Structure 1
Amino acid sequence: MSLHSKKLSFTTPILVSFSGILIAFILIAVFITLTQRKDFVEDYHNINRNFTHNLAVNYTESILRENDYILGRAATYFSRNDKLDETVNVDPEKGVQVLMQLQNLMPTVSSVSLADSQGHYLRAPDVLPADGSEAVDVRTRPWFIRQAEASIFSHYTSPYMDYFLHQPTVTIFKPVISPEGKLKGTLAFHLDLTVMGYTLRQMVAPVQGEFFVVDRDGKVVLHPDTGALFKQYLSEDVMSRMTSGEGHVFDGKTGFWYYYYSFTNPDWFVIYRVADSTLKDITRHETNIVSWGFALAAIVIILFGLYLRHASRTVLMNIIHAIKTGEVNSAPRLESTLSKTILTNKERERDYVRQATVDALTGCKNRRAFDSDIAALMQEHQHFALALVDIDNFKSINDTWGHLSGDIVLRNVAREGIQVMQPEHISVYRYGGEEFAILFPTDHLDAAFRLVETWRLQVAERTWREEGLQVTFSAGLGEWHFEPLEQLIGSVDEALYKAKQQGKNRILRTS
């Protein structure tokens, strides 16, 4: 008679339990993998949108704002008395010199045109028409203004063919209107799109992609490759889906994601184009790592299940042997199991937060942190002072010693400022390019001036490795008197501009 009974099976409950654990583990692993894949894609969308935002604000917008500011100041200068007529008609030779001085202030402007309302004009630098060609009638140019407009803001032309250089170009222009409201003429800056696009080559994208700037029709106006200028890069369907502001859209026909940031004036879009296959490859790589981790864990579970089955049978046999022989000292001891520690990703999360608010090159807080901090101060109605600092002749430093030396200058100027401001618990922000900003939460402007002056002196007295390199900066400083943010920044920026005009390497307060 067989004494074997399934009810006495010691291993069956163990195998059933581990099978249930393994099946539940597989289902959980599949769910987590699919969820993480979705999260990875969304994370990269956020990273790419942030890159597009920084590219638009820290590079494109800063250039456009600088040109627009100088255009407005120059138009105001020519609107006074008979300055425009004297420059264009009375003494054109001296007028060309004045326009050349204006053009030299803007590295992204290839030439400057000034015309009166009758069509008489000057262009600097002067370009002679080809032999046998007719004289150009500037009244036919897209930047010529025939009558005073209600808007006195700057305008941008659509891409058109330059009469002299026979190359496509874009012009920013503004009417010159006297204080009495009479139209005196037009001042126009012809943009050097090749130079403006050159800096895009230095940009390092978070993932493999292509970044450029297009107009409302989808034609390229800025691109690292000058051969792509004015080509149709975006379809009408994609452009119609881009709203004012920023975001991203997917074009199923081409298989590209388009991350965009839009401007109102000019009506341009900063675009970062990434192939959908690139994002899929990245997320597939990320999730494959997780999947292999789960697979390895499943194998370990199976091995431990088999080991426990074998160990339990051995323990049972030893107990039976102990009962038969009475040798209890040889009976096996039960081993306690060790729990596994779970590692958190808290440190990784902190790194992400730091990358979102700190400029990687200089160690200063970035523009996004500046916008957030100044908005908080204004919302809480706290008194504060704002300083804008701009390194003098930075383009000349880049052109003479190279962009690597330019980066070294930026880092060291920022480091000097941080060393001065940090003991006072004051942050230095990289406002854009070679420009920095400081927020002083105080109503004592003299104290803020002394701190910026200390920074200025340390930079001016610093000895650089490059022979002949001398670095200085100019700054504007002003208090907030509860005016709008744009007005505050405009007044401080104007003080900075006056400091540049008065010889640089100095600090001026707002009026």
Structure 2
Amino acid sequence: MLTLTSKRALAITISVVLAPFLLISIYSFFYIRINTENHFDETMFRFTSNSAHNCIENPIRKINVLFSSLSGMIEKHDIIEYISPNHNELNLLIPSLVNANEMLGSVLVSDNQDNYKIYPPFELENYKPSSRPWYHRDGFKDQVFYSEPYISAKKTNSEKKKEKAITVSMNLFDKHSEFIGNIAFDLSFNAMSNNMQGLVVPYNGHFRVAAMDGSVIMSSNTKDIFTRTVPALWISEAKDSTGYFRDEVNKKIVFYQAYQNPDWVAFTSVDIKEYDKLLNDSYIVLLYVILACIFCYFIMALICRAYFKQWIDTLYKNINGDDGNELPHNFAGLCQGLAKKNETLKEAVQAASTDTLTKIGSRRRFEEDSLNLVRSNTPFHLAMIDLDNFKKINDTYGHPTGDFVLQHVSKIGLERLGGTHSIYRFGGEELVAIFCGITFAECYEIVDSWRYTVSRRKWREQNLTVTFSCGIASSGDGKTLDEIIASADKSLYEAKESGKNCIYPPLS
């Protein structure tokens, strides 16, 4: 058998102490990772949603309200008069709308014959509104249509430079739902990007809005508008209304929020190295904590190594007394000493709860069990038994015979009670038994069977006859333990007075 030395015991102790620390460290590692990932995702989703709301949803709502107002007030004659040189109210309204809304770059009003007028005015050659990409021929009433980016028909200073534009338009109908024309606004994305000025993106990221062809249409750097594109992977990955993905090619983590009509997508991108730095910073803090704990464990191990033997000796002395000649040489000796003391304690407890002569419960055990029953309001019957003429048996046949008689009566009692009920030596020749969960009649029958068996025994001692008298009392009605014992003792006295070898009260 392997001997448990002090060094081995010390090693086991340190290992047991370190095990929870290692488990906590591993748990903390994964918890930090998951918690950091969740916090990062939550922050980026919230930022992307809020920024998209300010840069896309609010302007779209204003534009839709504007179109709804115009749709309800423009009739066919208004379009004709607006396009013609004649002055009418629309000639004042349209310019004021463009000048008052910085999101609108220019406006074109056309009739159903492709006659048109542009504000601010500029020349276009061979221009036909219905042939333009923004003109939605199948548009329904009050339907606002946002075009994809297209090459503008406006002339620029450089013939080589082609300007892109996005136009929002709506077909106009009269009160009879007849198509009468179209009104279209070119959007000024430089002005719409003003909401991004001073926008601080978490984790040194970048926020931009792109059309479905990848063109950047809104950015804090207005030079990027229609001149730069987002990777094609970003557009293909933006399949849901909101989500995120990793762009391993460009080393980005991209969060997005997508819209329909207009088919725009708001992207927030963060460098993967920024995300890794966020995780590493959290791990560094955990590493410092682990190192500090390891240092504390190391100091504790040195202290234990220096004083472990002394602690064992002190513990052994406290258990066995100040007998310095029997100090253990190793941890196994301490364990043996503890085991020996434990056995001694068990024997003491057994001796206190068991009568050494009869091997039934002691009076102390009886008092503990009966008191617990009274306190828990558990109903029971108490049978108090006294051997008849026991003093005469001792005087005539000797104390060994008297002891044997007590043992025999107790043995018969254990057999009749069957382990279901409890029997104790109350003192001298008196025994008591506790019956739980049965009626008085059932209790009476068990005790009477016990009494009858004892009385029928033929002893080898000449003229020796053994009988007992019994008094039974029942708990309940708020009786204390002393009152129950007194009641049983009184019934026992009545049995003695009735001629002995009987039970009182009798069955009615």
Q: Same fold (TM over 0.5)?
A: yes
CA distance in 2, matches of 1:204, 1:249: 21
In structure 2, which of residues 109, 117, 129 is the aligned counterpart of residue 138 of structure 1?
129
Deviation string 1:438-461 (CA, Å, 9 cap, x unpaired) is: xxxxxxxxxxxxxxxxxxxxxxxx
In structure 2, which of residues 214, 219, 222 is the aligned counterpart of residue 218 of structure 1?
214
Relative distance call for 1:123 and 1:94 in structure 2 (3 A) is: farther
SS of the residue corresponding to residue 291 of structure 2 reads helix
CA distance in 2, matches of 1:136, 1:252: 46
CA distance in 2, matches of 1:180, 1:151: 11
SS of the residue corresponding to residue 264 of structure 1 reads coil
Q: Does 1:149 align with 2:139?
A: yes
In structure 1, which of residues 286, 295, 310 is the aligned counterpart of residue 282 of structure 2?
286
CA distance in 1, matches of 2:20, 2:106: 71
Alignment of 1:278-427 (within 5 A): 278-313=274-309
Deviation (angstroms), 1:268: 0.8
Q: Does 1:188 align with 2:178?
A: no
In structure 2, which of residues 272, 276, 293 is the aligned counterpart of residue 276 of structure 1?
272
- Correspondence for 1:158: 148
- Correspondence for 1:120: 115
Question: Do the aligned residues in 2 keep the contact of 1:92 with 1:122 (CA within 8 Å)?
Answer: no
Larger radius of gyration: 2
Q: Does 1:255 align with 2:255?
A: no
Deviation string 1:191-244 (CA, Å, 9 cap, x unpaired) is: 110111122122222221111111122221111112222245334343222223
CA distance in 1, matches of 2:208, 2:274: 18
Paired AA for residue 48 in structure 2: T
Question: Do the aligned residues in 1 keep the contact of 2:81 with 2:88 (CA within 8 Å)?
Answer: no
- Correspondence for 1:73: 69
Question: Do the aligned residues in 2 keep the contact of 1:29 with 1:291 (CA within 8 Å)?
Answer: no
Deviation (angstroms), 1:305: 2.2
CA distance in 2, matches of 1:212, 1:123: 30
Question: Do the aligned residues in 2 keep the contact of 1:88 with 1:95 (CA within 8 Å)?
Answer: no
Superposed CA RMSD in Å reads: 3.1
Paired AA for residue 58 in structure 2: S
Moved runs in structure 1, 4+ residues, more than 6 A?
A: 316-323
CA distance in 1, matches of 2:315, 2:170: 99
In structure 2, which of residues 200, 203, 210 is the aligned counterpart of residue 204 of structure 1?
200
Paired AA for residue 60 in structure 2: L
SS of the residue corresponding to residue 272 of structure 1 reads strand
- Correspondence for 2:105: 110
CA distance in 2, matches of 1:284, 1:92: 69
CA distance in 1, matches of 2:266, 2:20: 47
CA distance in 1, matches of 2:90, 2:4: 109
- Correspondence for 1:32: 28
Question: Do the aligned residues in 1 keep the contact of 2:55 with 2:192 (CA within 8 Å)?
Answer: no
Alignment of 1:474-489 (within 5 A): none
In structure 1, which of residues 172, 176, 191 is the aligned counterpart of residue 172 of structure 2?
176
Question: Do the aligned residues in 2 keep the contact of 1:162 with 1:168 (CA within 8 Å)?
Answer: yes
CA distance in 2, matches of 1:168, 1:8: 85
Deviation string 1:5-59 (CA, Å, 9 cap, x unpaired) is: x969545423321133325523441342134213312320121011111111233
Paired AA for residue 113 in structure 2: Q
Relative distance call for 1:98 and 1:320 in structure 2 (3 A) is: closer
**Segment of structure 1 superposing worse, 205-214 or 290-299:** 290-299
Relative distance call for 1:10 and 1:185 in structure 2 (3 A) is: same
Question: Do the aligned residues in 2 keep the contact of 1:176 with 1:185 (CA within 8 Å)?
Answer: yes
Deviation (angstroms), 1:75: 2.5
Q: TM-score, normalised by structure 1?
A: 0.56
Relative distance call for 1:139 and 1:195 in structure 2 (3 A) is: same
Relative distance call for 1:73 and 1:66 in structure 2 (3 A) is: same
Question: Do the aligned residues in 1 keep the contact of 2:140 with 2:171 (CA within 8 Å)?
Answer: no
- Correspondence for 2:354: none
Question: Do the aligned residues in 2 keep the contact of 1:260 with 1:270 (CA within 8 Å)?
Answer: yes
Q: Does 1:59 align with 2:55?
A: yes
Relative distance call for 1:58 and 1:199 in structure 2 (3 A) is: closer
Question: Do the aligned residues in 2 keep the contact of 1:159 with 1:170 (CA within 8 Å)?
Answer: yes
- Correspondence for 1:21: 17
- Correspondence for 1:388: none
SS of the residue corresponding to residue 122 of structure 2 reads coil
Paired AA for residue 149 in structure 1: G
Question: Do the aligned residues in 2 keep the contact of 1:96 with 1:125 (CA within 8 Å)?
Answer: no
Deviation (angstroms), 1:315: 5.3
Deviation (angstroms), 1:114: 1.0
SS of the residue corresponding to residue 55 of structure 2 reads helix
Paired AA for residue 93 in structure 2: V
CA distance in 1, matches of 2:242, 2:22: 40
Q: Does 1:88 align with 2:78?
A: no
Q: Which runs of 5+ in 1 are unaligned?
A: 1-5, 328-511
CA distance in 2, matches of 1:117, 1:257: 48
Relative distance call for 1:60 and 1:149 in structure 2 (3 A) is: closer
Question: Do the aligned residues in 2 keep the contact of 1:223 with 1:229 (CA within 8 Å)?
Answer: yes
Tell me how many residue pairs correspond in the alignment.
316
Question: Do the aligned residues in 2 keep the contact of 1:212 with 1:224 (CA within 8 Å)?
Answer: yes
CA distance in 2, matches of 1:151, 1:98: 21
**Segment of structure 1 superposing worse, 281-290 or 299-308:** 299-308
- Correspondence for 2:422: none
Relative distance call for 1:320 and 1:114 in structure 2 (3 A) is: closer
Paired AA for residue 122 in structure 1: K
CA distance in 2, matches of 1:280, 1:207: 11
Deviation string 1:331-371 (CA, Å, 9 cap, x unpaired) is: xxxxxxxxxxxxxxxxxxxxxxxxxxxxxxxxxxxxxxxxx
Q: Does 1:238 align with 2:234?
A: yes
Q: Which runs of 5+ in 2 are unaligned?
A: 157-162, 325-508
Deviation string 1:219-274 (CA, Å, 9 cap, x unpaired) is: 21111112222245334343222223111111222221111111111011111011
Relative distance call for 1:136 and 1:319 in structure 2 (3 A) is: closer
SS of the residue corresponding to residue 307 of structure 2 reads helix
Question: Do the aligned residues in 1 keep the contact of 2:52 with 2:266 (CA within 8 Å)?
Answer: yes
CA distance in 2, matches of 1:27, 1:223: 48
